[in-house]
Amino acid sequence: MLGLNSKDKTLFLIVLALTMFAPFLLNPFPEGSELAQFNAGYPDLMQRFVIFGIFAIGFNILFGLTGYLSFGHAAFLGVGSYAGVWMLKLLTMNVVPAIIVSVIFAGLFSAVVGYISLRRSGIYFSILTLAFAQMSFALAYSVLTPITNGETGLQLALNDPRILDFDAADGSLPATNFFGIEMRDGFELALGPWLFTFNFGYYLCAIIMLIAFYISIRIFRSPFGLMLRAVKTNQQRLRFTGKNPKPHTLAAFIISGMYAGLAGGLMVAMDPLAGAERMQWTASGEVVLMTILGGAGTLIGPVLGAGVIKYFENIFSKINDNVLYNWFSFLPDGMQDAFVFMIHPFIGKGWHLTLGIMFMLVVIFLPGGVVEGGQRLRQLFSRRGGSDSAGGASSAKAHPAE
Amino acid sequence: MDAVILQILNGLDKGSAYALIALGLTLIFGTLGVVNFAHGALFMLGAFCAVTLSKIFTISYETIDPVRKDFLGNPLKVETPYIFDWFGPDVGTAMIEWSVPLAILFSIPIMILVGLSMERGLIKYFYKRPHADQILVTFGLAIVLQEIIKYFYGANPIPTPAPPALTGSADFGVLLGFDAGSIIYPYWRLVYFVFAAVIIGGVFAFLRYTTFGMVVRAGMADRETVGLLGINIDKRFTIMFALAACVAGLAGVMYTPINSPNYHMGMDFLVLSFVVVVVGGMGSLEGAVAAGFLLGVLESFASMGEIVSLLPGINQIIIYLVAIIILLTRPRGLMGRKGVMEE
Amino acid sequence: MGILEVKGVNKRFGGLKALDEVNINVEAGAVHAIIGPNGAGKSTLLNCLVGRLEPDTGTVDFDGSSLLNLQPHEINQLGVSRVFQTPEIFSDLDLLENVMIPTLARRDGPFKLDAWSRVDHLSEVRERAEELLQDVGLFEKREMVASSLSRGDKRRLELAMCLVQDPKLLLLDEPTAGMSRADTNNTIDLLKKIGERGITKIVIEHDMHVVFSLANKISVMAQGTVIAEGKPEDIKGDPRVQEAYLGGAHL
């Protein structure tokens, strides 16, 4: 089935199950309970999980496989967003053309940027991509205002032409839809005290992410993917082996740019608004963080990284001092204050501090990210369990197919 | 002509900041081989040293003036800074007014301490890791540092004025024989430029004329050989890191009157300073300084009204554009050495 | 008419004349050794052959076409493979992948966007790679990561990566540099075994033991020029060679 080997198929099915049942999995706490604030099963957040998942999966095709660290990928996401909003304004509120055009524009733009940036490698490549992204950001803010609407951001207006839509204007902005199914629509399911929300927009994003994930598995296992890994480990040898590394890396760059454009297109399909800050280099930095945190070069790492960062961003930002006082209410007053005082800098608006520390710890101690952490844990347990397959991955790799 | 001179002068202060940060970046890269994405954060820490010092000077206690009344008729509350009691009101006022220059002395030990602990506590474990890892961990550190500052000082810019004696502007137009008022230039920017020139000159002299500096330069050229001579190069490199941190910090201290410091100023400058380093040539100290001033002045020319009306938006992107062109035509930058960061 | 003809090649680095009117003619099927003291220009010559350096003047013709102004990957696609002084392998990949990459390079050319088929389904490519791993005696280690190999094994792997391409010309740059005597002898045996395939080889070597066990023709270089050329027996007795190379000591 699907043309995947059994291990990849398992992986794919796990991701499939996670995304399809996300409205249940992310809402484990009954409505109105103390812990309900840790629920993440509302549409807006779930959409962000999968959209940033797509962004990170694409980034990983470039960085994880070839080792080229781009600090400018947010520019492609931004271009995709703008292109998407324009389609919604000019053509139709159906999201399909918007998404397709987002991918195409981001692909074209990344072809130009990639062609030039890839003439250099190492830190020079990083700086070149950074320079391009910052340039796009600056232009989007200033000169390109007719296209980008500058600081305000590009949004829908009542008098947009939308030449393919015929619905009578009733004085309110139409909603984005997928052949009539409105993205903001959905239904709710109440099971006892639990409340689950199923949002059409989320499911569209989730299905697209699954396709994107599937394509990335195919790329990883293909001869092309093998060549990309060869680029990372020894370009010199690859050249003297008769392969030209340049078109390979450029193709990877364009593919990852198109993934970024897809993410940008989906963002505006869910919420038709595009702003220049989406292109800023901090946004590029965010996708780097996601990929590294999850595990660069692994299939599922970027998805996990995107999920972890977006989840904690949401949760940490919501916790405030009152919540903390509640948690530590079992402690004597003085200690309660002390605990709250110590934790206070890391929550709420301090979420970025937590993120920075988390990221540093990962780079220092766990360069393989969450995925490597999981492998280490599994090794630890299998050793405890007394099985003799210590050495884990490497020795396991040496045995099969004898 | 006068307009050209004005633009050159205008470019000098930003150029000075670029040059100072780029100099430190290059020192760290040249000696330790580390790409330090947290260098902008050091610049920002320097600026907040100035903010902190002026806050310390103005710590006050409250007394009630029995004679004067406030507009509600209540006894007037008077805030008196502690330093007025310690040094007398005249000296105290002067200290508050001159807190930015005084912060130079205050920031040096702090920046050295920050530099040393950063190198010993974190960077040294990354010498042998790939450049991508170095970029990532210092990027993480930069986020942490700026968030800490944000936590203590808030997100808004904090105005930190220059001493009143230096807040005015000089009319260079008259001095140079042009119309009066054609070239008006604030004193403080002049101070900043001179200050930067002195620091840069000092660093170069230190590297050229002291034994310590010679060893460091030799180490930059060929670390292994110097190590074989039995010289403890690592210890010297640690000190160089502290020095580079100090240079960035001082650049930040003196920059506060030009632009009110905020927590993300380091990142803003870092991106541009990296571009500067790459344009100058990775590993070339002269290149970093030259490119810093060059790009600062270019940026200021690009913001001239005539040029902006001709090429809208050029002032926003000129630095990146120049960087891209230089990287593509002269891969090693203006003065880069062969074999640095290639492949 | 040889398979590789180097005519009047000059190369200067600033004031240093690295190659001075070098002429070398390599016969098809020969094992041609290029020897000479350090700094004689052997490596510069080799780099001019594989597209790493461009000669200032002169021609390099391989199998009827010029190698000048070609990229390394283009030269390889013409049928020239190279073994480096320090083994250049894909250290993060396993041995099988290491050998499959050159196999794919021969099959697909310099670039093919084959992002949909699966590497583990390419049984022909895989079998070919496994065959070569058998030949160099690394088949049992095929699932290991290449960086974990010993230096001798890395050299074997690199040889397999070159041989899998069925090159017309194999360039060996000091194939036994830094090896123990036992490893050196193993490598000689291996190279002799490949010799039976009839691939033309150019060997650059310091170790006379290796040169005289393998080569059937030798060019001696000193100070950027070829000072002697001939069969191993002739070279052994040539007084000019002994003078230039060994300062008069006997080989």
Alpha-carbon distance of A396 to C141, in angstroms, equals 13
- Do C174 and C159 share a structural domain? no
B152 vs A: CB within 8 A? no
pLDDT at B154: 85
Q: Which residues from C are below 8 Å from A398, CB to CB? A: 143-144
How confident is the model at residue C97, as a pLDDT?
95
The encoded tokens of residue B38 equal 């947290």
- Give the Cα separation of C7 and C23 in Å (integer): 5
Contact B136 A292 (CB under 8 A): yes
C65-66 and C57-62 beta bridge pairing: antiparallel
More confident residue, B287 or A106: A106
Q: Indicate the pTM of the whole model.
A: 0.88
The identity of residue A305, as a single letter, is: G
pLDDT digits (tens, 9 = 90+) for A295-309: 999 999 999 999 999
Residues A110 and A260: beta-carbon distance below 8 Å: yes
- Band of residue A358 on the pLDDT scale cut at 50, 70, 90: confident
User: Which C residues 108-147 touch A at CB under 8 Å?
Assistant: 108-120, 122, 143-145
Q: Going by C-beta distance under 8 Å and a sequence separation of 6 or more, which residues neighbour residue B177?
A: none
Q: Is the pLDDT of residue A396 over 60?
A: no
Q: Is residue C244 part of a domain?
A: yes
Same domain, yes or no: C160 and C103: yes
Interface C:A, ≥3 CB–CB pairs < 8 Å: yes
In the numeric block, the tokens 């052949």 are attached to A179
β-strand partners of C35: C220
pLDDT at C1: 61
Structure tokens at B235: 């210890």
**Cα separation, A236 vs A224, whole angstroms:** 17
> Which among B139, B145, B153, B299 is the top mutation candidate for probing chain A, defined by the most A β-carbons within 10 Å of its own β-carbon?
B139
- Structure token digits, residue C12: 């200067």
- The HSE-up count of residue C150 (CA atoms within 13 Å, CB side) is 7
Per-residue model confidence (pLDDT) at position A385: 57
Say what the pLDDT of residue A99 is: 96
* Selection from B244, B315, B325 nearest residue B278 by Cα: B325
Determine the pLDDT at residue A400.
30
Domain holding C66: CATH number?
A: 3.40.50.300
What's the confidence (pLDDT) of residue C251?
A: 43
Comparing A240-249, B163-172, B290-299, C89-98, which segment has the lowest mean pLDDT?
B163-172
What ipTM describes this predicted complex? Answer: 0.91
Contacts of residue B108, defined as CB under 8 A and 6 or more positions apart, other chains included, come to: B246, B249, B250
pLDDT tens, position by position, for chain C (251 residues)? 688 999 999 988 877 888 989 999 998 888 999 988 877 888 889 888 888 888 999 999 998 889 988 999 999 999 999 998 888 999 999 999 999 999 999 999 999 998 889 988 899 999 999 999 998 889 999 999 999 998 888 988 999 999 999 999 999 988 887 778 888 888 888 888 877 777 899 999 877 888 888 888 999 888 888 888 888 888 877 887 777 665 544 44
Mean pLDDT of chain B: 84
Q: Which of B315, B327, B342 to mutate to test the interface with A (most CBs of A within 10 A)?
A: B327
Same domain membership, residue C10 and residue C110: no
List all residues 6 or more positions away from B67 whose beta carbon is below 8 Å from its beta carbon.
none
Q: Are residues C31 and C134 in the same domain?
A: no
Question: Amino acid identity of C143?
Answer: E
**Cα C188 to Cα C175: distance, rounded to the nearest angstrom:** 9
Cα separation of B234 and B32, whole Å? Answer: 8
Looking at the predicted structure, is the pLDDT value of residue B272 above 50? Answer: yes
**Residue C191 falls within a domain, yes or no?**
no
Strand-pairing partners, residue C61, are: C5, C66
What's residue C158's pLDDT?
A: 93
Residues A362, A357: Cα–Cα separation, whole Å:
9
pLDDT at B95: 86
Question: Three-state DSSP class for C21?
Answer: strand
A29, amino acid identity:
F
CA distances from B42 to A131, B39, B112, B113, B143 (A): 22, 5, 11, 12, 12
Task: Give me the residues paired with residue C16 across strands.
Answer: C13
- Facing residues of A190 across strands? A195
Residues C126, C202: one domain?
Answer: no
pLDDT band at A402 (very low <50, low <70, confident <90, very high): very low
The chains found to touch C (3+ Cβ pairs under 8 angstroms) are A
- Maximal C-alpha separation, chain B: 80
Boundaries of domain holding C134? 86-166
| Backbone dihedral angles phi then psi of residue B255, each to the nearest 5 degrees | -80, -20
Residues of B (70-129) whose Cβ lies below 8 Å from A: 122, 125
Q: Is C165 on the interface with A (CB under 8 A)?
A: yes
Q: Say whether both C106 and C219 belong to one domain.
A: no
Structure-token match 């180097």, residue found? C6
For chain C, how far is it from start to end, CA to CA, in angstroms?
31
- Whether the predicted pLDDT of A401 surpasses 60: no
Residue C111 placed within a domain: yes
Read off the pLDDT of residues C79-90 as tens digits, 9 standing for 90 and up: 999 998 888 999
Query: What band does A384 get if pLDDT is binned at 50, 70 and 90?
Result: low
For residue C193, which amino acid is it?
K
CB A162 within 8 A of CB A154: no
Exposure b/e, C51-61, CB count within 10 A at least 16 = b = bbbebeebebb
What percent of chain A has a predicted confidence (pLDDT) above 70? 94
CA distance A176 to A182: 6
Question: C204 or B176: which carries more pLDDT confidence?
Answer: C204
SS3 A141: helix
Task: Return the structure tokens found at A208.
Answer: 């697209």
For A247-290, write each residue's pLDDT tens digit: 999 999 999 999 999 999 999 999 999 988 888 878 898 899 89
**pLDDT value at A58 more than 50:** yes
Asked whether residue C183 is domain-assigned, the answer is no
B4, burial (CB in 10 Å: exposed 0-12, middle 13-18, buried 19+): exposed
If you ran DSSP here, which 8-state letter would residue A78 be given? H
The whole-number average pLDDT for the span A375-401 is: 55
Domain membership of residue C192 (yes or no) is no
pLDDT at A238: 95
- Is A352 within 8 Å of B147 when comparing Cβ atoms? yes
C214 and C149 in a single domain? The answer is no
Segment A76-105 mean pLDDT: 95
Position C69 in a domain: yes
- Among the four given CATH numbers 1.10.3470, 1.10.1760, 1.10.10, 1.10.260, the one describing domain B2-57+107-329: 1.10.3470
Q: Chains with 3 or more CB pairs closer than 8 angstroms to A?
A: B, C
Q: How far apart are CA C231 and CA C239, in angstroms?
A: 14
Structure tokens at B332: 């090693």
Q: What residue spans define the domains of chain B?
A: 2-57+107-329
Q: By C-alpha distance, which of A225, A250, A246 is closest to C101?
A: A225
Q: Is residue C212 included in any domain, yes or no?
A: yes
> In terms of Cα–Cα distance, which of A367, A201, A244 is closest to A294?
A367
Residues C142 and C152 placed together within one structural domain of the fold:
yes
pLDDT digits (tens, 9 = 90+) for A162-216: 888 776 556 778 888 898 888 888 888 888 888 888 999 999 999 999 999 999 9
DSSP element (H, E) containing C152: helix C151-163
- Residue A390 is predicted with a pLDDT of 38
Task: Specify if C64 maps to a domain.
Answer: yes
**DSSP H or E segment with residue C201:** strand C200-204
Tokens standing for A102?
């987002």
Beta bridge partners of C25: C5
Question: What residues are paired with C62 via a beta bridge?
Answer: C4, C65
**From the CB of residue A188, how many other CB atoms can be counted at a distance below 10 Å?**
10
- Whether residue B144 lies within 8 A of chain A, CB to CB, comes out as yes
Q: Say what the pLDDT of residue B304 is.
A: 82
In terms of CA atoms, which chain A residue is nearest residue B312?
A: A143
Asked if residue B340 has pLDDT above 60, the reply is: no
Total count of domains within chain C = 2
Whether the CB-CB separation of C245 and C206 falls below 8 Å is answered with: no
- Region A127-144: mean pLDDT is 87
Single-letter code of the amino acid located at B283: G
Query: What's the CA gap between B249 and B47, in Å, rounded?
Result: 7
Q: Are residues C66 and C101 in the same domain?
A: no
Q: CA-CA distance, B142 to B35, in Å (whole number)?
A: 13
Please give the pLDDT value at position A392: 36
- Check pLDDT > 90 for residue B29: no
pLDDT of residue B224: 67
